[in-house]
Every structure is written in C-alpha cells, then in structure tokens.
Amino acid sequence: MKKLLLLFACILFSFAGESQNSSSIHSLYLGNNAGYDGRSILLDYRSFDYNSIDYRDFGTNNTTKIIDDNDTNGSRFINNFQYGKVAGFAKKYVLRYDAFNDQMEIKNAENKIYLIDKRTINKVDFENGATYKLYNYYIGKKNFTGYLKVIFKGSEVSLLKKEVIKYVFEKQAESSYHTAVPAKFKRGKDLYFVADHNGTTRSFRSKKDLLKLFPDKKTALEKFLKTNDVKFTNEDSLIALMQHLESLD
C-alpha cells in the first residue's frame, strides 16, 4: 500500500511540474502569435509587413536612424523566403534570414511576417542545406549573441560564419554637377569563427589569430599551414584546416 501511495505521489508531482512548465511556456505566447499554423510556436513580440520600417541605433548623437526598405537599395536579407525547420518542431515553415538586424523571419499563410523569438528557438535549418544557430561568441574581448552559419561541424571543433550586411547612408549631391547616391544595404566582409568542444566561440582572421586559439597545437598547425596554401577568406581552405584540427590529438 505504501508503494502505491508513493507511486501516486510521484505521478502527481510529475504532472504538477509539467503543468507548471507548460504554463510558463504558454505565458511567452503573445497575442495572436500563439497557435501559428495550427500549433504553438514562440515568436517575438514584434510583427510587421513587407514594407517595414526598421529602427536601428547607429550611436550617432544618441539618435535613431529610421530605415525604409522602399527607399534603400539592396537587401538586408541573405536569402529569399524558403522552406525550413526550426528546432523543436517537425513541420516546415517559410523562413528567411535578416542579416542586418540578425533576425529570423517566418511567414504564415496570410503573408504576415513575424520574428522568431531567440529566447526559445536557437536553430534553423533551411531547405537549401544552410544551418544557423545561436551562439555566444567573442570578437576580440567583446562578447555577443547572435546567429552564426554552420560551415563545418566536428566533434572537437566547428567552423562558423557571421554573414555581414552593412547600411550605407545616402550621399547628397554636393552640387548640380554631382548625382545623389541613394542609401543601400551592402554585403560586408564576413567573419569566421571556430568553436571548440567546450562551446567557446572566437573569431579569427589570420594564422596569428588561429595559433593563439590553439597554443597546444601550435607546432602541428604551423607545419600544416606551411605545407598547405591556406587562405583565411576561403571556405574550402578553412574547412580543410578544421578537418586537420579534428585529426590532432
């Protein structure tokens, strides 16, 4: 009898824990974002349409620049809308990546676009094979959190890339002899990162940077770099480098 009572108490405790967890999760669902496409998915509180206005602080005189996509050449998106999966959900969604604002967008059947909540969805796999994950990463001594594209994933090290899109301000015509140049989004120089098996993720741009990250493998790396034409802006070269790092004890 005591065993039955104990079992019953454990079941009640487990159910209560699940209910509490479910309640806390559902408290994150905001407005009509709950129940998207027939099942719940956690989305950011902001929503917007195609002709959106993005607000971004440029740190100039404490002002905020209002960017209207319609008046800006180029695109803040790495890819057009395509099918993909988000971590924790089996079905496919229509997604695209806004590299300028470092946001994943998701579109529903009514062509409304929402932002995926970074607090709850940390990975997106696009149908074209591209995978983006949220990482805490370092550039120098500064720490950031954002989406990095997974280029190579090993058991010891992974190669990641931060795709960069910059905003270039419009240039007014200085005189009647000059032509005004409209504002535009422009692809910047992408940044590469290496993540070790502990999850520490740091940027590198040169042989010097890499050797600092792996001091215990310095001799083996120097030998590999000497006999191989490794270009630190070429993904194939960097993948070969990561594969070599994987093979080192």
Query: Mean per-residue pLDDT for 153-178?
Result: 87
What's the pTM value of the predicted model, to 2 decimals?
0.75
Torsional class of 226: left (φ above 0), alpha (ψ -120 to 50), beta (otherwise): alpha
Is pLDDT above 50 for 128? yes
DSSP conformation letters of 90-107? -S-EEEEEETTTTEEEEE
Is pLDDT above 70 for 50? no
For 197-243, give the secondary structure using H, E and C. CCCCEEECCCHHHHHHHCHHHHHHHHHHHHHCCCCCCCHHHHHHHHH
Residue with tokens 């959900």: 89
- CB 105, CB 114: distance < 8 Å: yes
pLDDT the model gives residue 90: 82
Model confidence over 181-208: pLDDT tens digits? Answer: 888 999 999 999 999 888 889 999 999 9
pLDDT the model gives residue 65: 61
- CB 207, CB 226: distance < 8 Å: no
Give me the percent of the chain exceeding a pLDDT of 90. 42
pLDDT the model gives residue 209: 93
Query: Mean per-residue pLDDT for 36-41?
Result: 43
Query: Mean per-residue pLDDT for 81-86?
Result: 93
pLDDT confidence band for 215 (50 / 70 / 90): very high
Cα 85 to Cα 203: distance, rounded to the nearest angstrom = 27
Give me the percent of the chain exceeding a pLDDT of 70. 73
- Of the two residues 85 and 51, the one the predictor is more confident about is 85
Is pLDDT above 80 for 54? no
The four Cα atoms 161, 74, 186, 80 give a dihedral, to 10 degrees, of: 0
